[in-house]
Amino acid sequence: MAEERPIGWWVRRLDSLLEEAVDSVVETEGLTRRHWQVLHSLATGTGHEADVAAALADFPGDVDVVVSDLVGRGWVVRLGTGRVGLAPDGAVAHDRVARAVERVRRHAADGLSRNEYERTILVLSRMVANIERALGRDGPDQPRR
């Protein structure tokens, strides 16, 4: 019976399906997840390439290679002194992919009320905090003690 499965199974299954769905969306644009993360990071404005790499350090992939690829596509421009930003074509591509990623998110929450969704996020965040505390960590960005 599905209800008898532990929370870890459900969390891993949901994570796997979300990854698969988002990967499918970005692949239709000839992108990897890492490309999407860089585009999305730059969507709020220009930034230093090192800051983008630091923000995405927990995810696999070489940001420098991805930025170079996006520059080659004409979607990202290097602005000097290590700064990068979205080119007009990159902004259009970002908006297109963002709409598709948002559809994935809406599908994931289909049939849930706003209250149910918010409650789920609250419960999961508390469970994360509980486990981090049990492991002697102060938060999601803190190393193990």
What integer pLDDT is reported at residue 115 of this predicted model? 96
Question: What 8-state DSSP symbol labels residue 3?
Answer: G
- The residues with which 48 forms a beta bridge, in sequence order, are 83
Of 40, 135, 48, which Cα lies nearest the Cα of 90?
A: 40
One-letter amino acid at 12 equals: R
- What CATH number is given for 19-108 in this structure? 1.10.10.10
At residue 21, the 3 state secondary structure works out as helix
At 50, list the tokens: 């090192």
Dihedral over Cα of 24, 92, 102, 12: its sign: positive
Model confidence at 85, pLDDT cuts 50, 70, 90, reads: very high
What integer pLDDT is reported at residue 10 of this predicted model? 94
What are the domain boundaries of the chain? Answer: 19-108, 111-145
pLDDT one-digit tens code per residue, 46-82: 788 888 888 888 777 788 889 999 999 999 999 988 8
Gyration radius (Cα) of the chain, Å: 18
Q: Residue 15: pLDDT above 70?
A: yes
